[in-house]
Amino acid sequence: MRTLSLTAGLFVLTGLLLNPCLPRASAQNLGSVKGQVTFGGDKVPMPAPVNVDKDQAHCLSKGPITSEEWVVNPNNKGVRWAIVWLSPNNDVKNPEPIKGIPEALQKSKNPTVAMDQPCCRYEPHVVAMRTDQSLIFKNGGAVAHNVQYQGCGTQGNPILNPGAEQKIGDLTYGWTGMTVGCNIHGWMKAYVRVFDHPYFAVTDADGNFEIKDVPPGNYYLITWQEAIGLHNSKAVKVDGKNVISAGDKIAIAAGQETKAPPIVLQPK
Ligand SMILES: [Cu+2]
């Protein structure tokens, strides 16, 4: 069985290598970038329990709730929940549109993105999404929460009873992003960023990210993380205008996987 699948695999691989007309052809005109966001401090922060001073029976029913301000993998210092994205320019307040987005990626496949709060914390803790998507706040838990959200062109503060949900749309890119919090349970915090293109990623538990199907060209790779904000950002004056500059220059080549420079976040 193993031999058979290996043979079949080799057959497919050979077919891919020999046949230049397979459907992946368009990918040859696009590139990708892979990288890792790591913690630059000496001592890796360990998950600290938050003070759950309300609705303990429900909120602690699945164990202690820990702060997610820094979620760092002690084995490789990878930082989870950072958002990394591409921009043609380094002016984060006024990003230029990305040109050459392939037809298949011009619209999002999913019209909505959900953020649930099943046990007095947001899941996921960080959301990156597109302007053509709506955000749905859900309450899959057993107690009421208010959802105070602000940024990306909107704000609100609905009360969500167990099982309720609230959909918000028409979000715009906002350079400071959106913050989400609950006043009933003060430790609950989440973050949302909205982009008018598909070239962004949220880092995983190893701090890794990948951005695929990118039109080749020169970009800035910009990183945000909740404890530090925009990585390596600075306020500069350009033509008398106040500009927030951020990001590392990166060239994306067609048909290649580009390795991002190390992104090392220094704790404040
Ligand atoms: Cu709450």
Domain residues of the chain, as ranges? 31-265
Q: What is the pLDDT of residue 26?
A: 57
Q: What is the pLDDT of residue 154?
A: 97
Please name every residue paired with 165 in a beta bridge, in sequence order, or none if there are none. Answer: 138
Condensed to tens digits (0 to 9), the pLDDT of residues 114-139 reads: 999 999 999 999 999 999 999 999 99
> How many A from CA of 117 to the centre of ligand 1?
8
Binned at pLDDT 50, 70 and 90, residue 68 comes out as: very high
> How many A from CA of 221 to the centre of ligand 1?
34
d(CA 114, CA 207): 22
Mean pLDDT over all residues of the chain?
92
Q: Is the pTM of this model over 0.75?
A: yes
Please name every residue paired with 40 in a beta bridge, in sequence order, or none if there are none. Answer: none
> How many A from CA of 182 to the centre of ligand 1?
5
- The topology under which CATH files domain 31-265 is Immunoglobulin-like (2.60.40)
What's the per-residue H, E or C state across 72-114?
Answer: ECCCCCEEECCEEEEECCCECCCCCCCCCCCHHHCCCCCCEEE
Give percent of the chain with pLDDT exceeding 70: 90
The mean per-residue pLDDT over the stretch 191-218 comes to 98
Condensed to tens digits (0 to 9), the pLDDT of residues 217-268 reads: 999 999 999 999 999 999 999 889 899 999 999 999 999 999 999 999 999 8
Ion ligand 1, residue ranges at CB < 5 A: 145, 182, 184-185, 188
